[in-house]
Amino acid sequence: MRADLVLIAAGFVGPEVDQLTLAERHLTARQTLSVTSDWRLRDLEGATPVFACGDAVRGQSLIVWAIAEGRSAAAAIDAALGGGPSALPAPVEPYALSW
Ligand SMILES: Cc1cc2nc3c(=O)[nH]c(=O)nc-3n(C[C@H](O)[C@H](O)[C@H](O)COP(=O)(O)OP(=O)(O)OC[C@H]3O[C@@H](n4cnc5c(N)ncnc54)[C@H](O)[C@@H]3O)c2cc1C
């Protein structure tokens, strides 16, 4: 079919791991970001932690999971910055497949 311009609007295509310059060890078998139990990107070198949650970790899912994981990751970030337990709610743990 002839066209002057084709725009591709695709959802559920996964995180852009090449742009994040991540190695295989940072990824799950499903090519999502692999995180530890406190939402840190697994096996990342350097002193600065990187936190991840939502579809980028879980894979394509539902907004309720993204919200719950976002809140949980926020609590983990709060704990990391504060150097102790966070008082923020952490309703879920990282999806098991990302471990
Ligand atoms: C077509 C479609 C329909 C859907 N319908 C439903 C539905 O009916 N009900 C439901 O519960 N869920 C639905 N979902 C799923 C829901 O939208 C997702 O699960 C949810 O949005 C995931 O939230 P998130 O914050 O993890 O990721 P996202 O909402 O994808 O947010 C990621 C954000 O990161 C930004 N970003 C990406 N790369 C960079 C970068 N390098 N630097 C800075 N920012 C960056 C993006 O622009 C984006 O704003 C649907 C999804 C799609 C695609």
What is the per-residue pLDDT for 86? Answer: 97
Residue 19 within a domain: no
The pLDDT-based confidence of 94 (bands split at 50, 70, 90) is very high
Q: Per residue in 15-35, pLDDT tens?
A: 888 888 888 889 998 889 999
Which residue out of 20, 35, 51, 55 has the highest number of ligand 1 atoms within 8 Å of its CB and is therefore the one to mutate? 55
Measured from the CB, is residue 86 less than 6 Å from ligand 1?
no
DSSP bridge partners of 71: none
Residue nearest to atom 8 of ligand 1 (CA): 62
Residue 6 within a domain: no
Number of domains the chain is built from: 1
* Whole-prediction pTM: 0.89
d(C-alpha 19, C-alpha 49), whole Å: 18
Residue 46 within a domain: yes
**Which range marks the domain in which residue 41 is found?**
24-98
Burial of 64 (0-12, 13-18, 19+ CB in 10 A): exposed
d(C-alpha 3, C-alpha 20), whole Å: 32
Q: Per residue in 32-90, pLDDT tens?
A: 999 999 999 998 888 889 999 999 999 999 999 999 999 999 999 999 999 999 999 99
Residue 12 within a domain: no
